[in-house]
Structure 1
Amino acid sequence: MSGVWIQHSVIFSLKHAEGSDEEQRFLEDGRTILSAIPVVRDFEVYLQVSPKNDYRFGFSMVFESNEDYEAYNVHPMHVKFVEERWVPEVEKFLEIDYQKHVTVV
């Protein structure tokens, strides 16, 4: 991957009971729907294990450019997932977007 890329991460907790079918379905649907958006690369679902915060899961993905990241944000599949699944099912979240830090010498 060349140029400016963005690693988009979100850690979150769901309103569903831990270990429930609803919890598993949300994670599976998130992976299936969001990773199918053409500009999404390296989509991963994580279980957050640090005792330093109380979020439970993470989604992470990479975009090859700012334009790809913006295309993702307005893509109909992403918008629909946010409106129909994320808003009603996510209790709390923290979004983090990274770019590789380049130090000028």
Structure 2
Amino acid sequence: MDKSSIIHSVIFTLKHAQGSAEEAQFLEDGRRILSSIPSVRDFQVYRQVSPKNDYAFGFSMTFADAAAYEAYNEHPLHVAFVNERWLTEVERFQEIDYQQH
């Protein structure tokens, strides 16, 4: 990873019951849809396990640079996922973006 690359991470808790089919579908749809956007690299889905944090899941991905990240943010698949799924199914979240120092 070079200094222009960006790691985009979001931790979140869903409105769905833990272990439910809706929870599994959201995570799978997120993986399938968001990882298909051309500028996304190394898309990962995580289950949060630390007792120090009460969020349930995480998505993480890498972008080559700020332009690639912006392309992702504006991509129709991302916009649709946010509007149709994220805003209705995510209870709360926190987002962080990293660049190598």
TM over 0.5: yes
After TM superposition, the score normalised by the length of structure 2 is 0.98
* Matching of residues 13-92 of structure 1 within 5 Å: 13-92=13-92
Q: Is contact 1:73-1:79 (8 Å) kept?
A: yes
Structure 1 ranges of 4+ moved more than 6 A: none
Whole-angstrom distance in 2 between the partners of 1:28 and 1:81? 12
Percent of paired sites with the same residue = 69
Q: Which runs of 5+ in 1 are unaligned?
A: none
Letter matched to residue 93 of structure 1:
F
Say what the alpha-carbon RMSD is for the aligned residues. Answer: 0.8
After TM superposition, the score normalised by the length of structure 1 is 0.94
Q: Cα offset for 1:2?
A: 4.1
Whole-angstrom distance in 2 between the partners of 1:2 and 1:47? 27
Whole-angstrom distance in 2 between the partners of 1:32 and 1:23? 14
Letter matched to residue 65 of structure 1:
D
Q: Which runs of 5+ in 2 are unaligned?
A: none
Residue deviations 1:44-87 (CA, integer Å, cap 9, x gap): 00000010111000000000010000010010000000000000
Aligned length: 101
